[in-house]
Structure 1
């Protein structure tokens, strides 16, 4: 009987030893797993810390790859000014801002007048005229004034000086004021003969109207944005400028007397990289040769 109890105790002891061994092995595995996790966490923290130190988590603004607006068009109310004509608005983005753009004005007064529009100095004026020309805005309209400043005024379908599109845009490329209205001999005029400039009513709210100067004009207070220059047909502009004028109904003797000066068509070509032609120098008001009209 004693030996039987001894065997039972030995079996129980062996069983207990096995249980303890399994528990010890399980505890060892847990410690290994925990140690591995701890190492992984430490490594992760090191990586994150390094990335943070190198600025990987800086919240920099994303680069704006969208094209910026080149021009802004201010709406004008045609119910307030019934002389305005709605032909939509030009684009605001992707407009050319370098080189020149050819413009051809065909009138009932002779050969076409050719112009180079200055895309660098007056990109918005060029964009506006090109847009309006594509809508036949200028076709069969009148040059309703021959101004006392020596320019032919065109581009108003209403012929009143108040007409234009249902948008306006700001001044570009207004010449620097002269110290006096009489420049020193040899100095170019503020607006040399052949200059093409915008004219707005009120000033600064440009639309469709433009001036073509047939003689030099100098002023101490320039207000017309220069948009280009005549490259051909200046004799036609001079012919129009020589016409006698009568009262236009407002007390200003600026309306051509004998017959209407009609713009039969106005077209604008595609941009070109650089000036391709230059008009011959013309005498200045002082008698000295003036520089070629600047496109800005």
Structure 2
């Protein structure tokens, strides 16, 4: 039968074993907690690294005012008086920037004919109204940029009757890879700030997405319209061209997002060729 001394020694050894096991379990818990903490830090650091790498690069606003593309290079301007903005959003159809000669030709007119499947649309570009715009549009015509491109939009509301063309993609967002500054000097002054001004039947003007974002898109007014004085007028539509526009308008509209009076021409219209007379 064990003595009291032996029982005390057995109890002491049992207590020591219990304390050792508790210490070992506590050590394992600390090791696991440390590993989890370190792993979490590694994951967070890795995510931060990926975010930094994937978002490296300066976003430069596209010349046509659309959402910036991180791959878009910085813009530059040509060295002449027109200062065409280049290097923004890539061209929808390959074409060089227009020549920026000094001085810009600012007298006389340029005759351009748009041959479409619905008939010819002869235009008169007027350098006295918008010298830099006419220089650029003449360049695009001679470079055959407009050949084989659709007229993607027609409107027929009481205050806006236009056919819009000049985007090779046909989506209303394409352009030539350069921008032309606004030339608004020929427009009448609005009756009050923020009020529209008349764009009479026969007006030829540039479409844009904000100040100084003109590219290749233009609109032809086939019925007296009212618009803000923000659109460069650079010429007029000759009488045979207005007859063609009337025919296109009479064929109707495929309603778009802006309602039944604004959409694509119901009978598709494409510029087969654009030529300088």
Calculate the TM-score normalised by the size of structure 2. Answer: 0.62
**C-alpha distance 214-227 of structure 1, shift in aligned 2 (>3 A):** same
Question: Would the aligned equivalents of 1:168 and 1:205 in 2 still touch at CA under 8 Å?
Answer: yes
**C-alpha distance 236-257 of structure 1, shift in aligned 2 (>3 A):** closer
CA distance in 2, matches of 1:257, 1:153: 10
Structure 2 residue runs without a partner (length 5+):
1-78
> Among residues 217, 224, 235, which one is paired with 1:228 in the alignment?
235
Match of 1:204 in 2: 212
What pairs with 1:1-296 in structure 2 (closer than 5 Å)? 69-78=80-89, 84-94=92-102, 95-110=104-119, 112-147=120-155, 148=157, 149-173=160-184, 175-179=187-191, 190-219=198-227, 221-233=228-240, 234-248=242-256, 250-253=257-260, 254-269=262-277
> Of Structure 1 and Structure 2, which has the larger fraction of its residues in strand?
2
Calculate the TM-score normalised by the size of structure 1. Answer: 0.59
**C-alpha distance 242-177 of structure 1, shift in aligned 2 (>3 A):** farther
CA distance in 2, matches of 1:230, 1:251: 26
**C-alpha distance 145-91 of structure 1, shift in aligned 2 (>3 A):** same
Aligned length: 190
CA distance in 2, matches of 1:190, 1:154: 21
Q: Residue by residue, what CA displacement relative to the aligned partner does 1:238-286 show, whole Å, maximum 9, x if unpaired?
A: 11123322234x45543335321111111124xxxxxxxxxxxxxxxxx
Q: Which has the larger radius of gyration?
A: 1
Alpha-carbon shift at residue 201 of structure 1 (Å) = 2.1
Question: Would the aligned equivalents of 1:169 and 1:205 in 2 still touch at CA under 8 Å?
Answer: yes
Alpha-carbon shift at residue 125 of structure 1 (Å) = 1.1
Question: Would the aligned equivalents of 1:76 and 1:168 in 2 still touch at CA under 8 Å?
Answer: no
Question: Would the aligned equivalents of 1:141 and 1:264 in 2 still touch at CA under 8 Å?
Answer: yes
Q: Residue by residue, what CA displacement relative to the aligned partner does 1:93-132 show, whole Å, maximum 9, x if unpaired?
A: 143210111111111102x111111111111111111111
CA distance in 2, matches of 1:201, 1:135: 24
**C-alpha distance 257-107 of structure 1, shift in aligned 2 (>3 A):** closer
Structure 1 residue runs without a partner (length 5+):
1-67, 184-188, 270-296
Question: Would the aligned equivalents of 2:126 and 2:134 in 1 still touch at CA under 8 Å?
Answer: yes
Alpha-carbon shift at residue 223 of structure 1 (Å) = 1.8
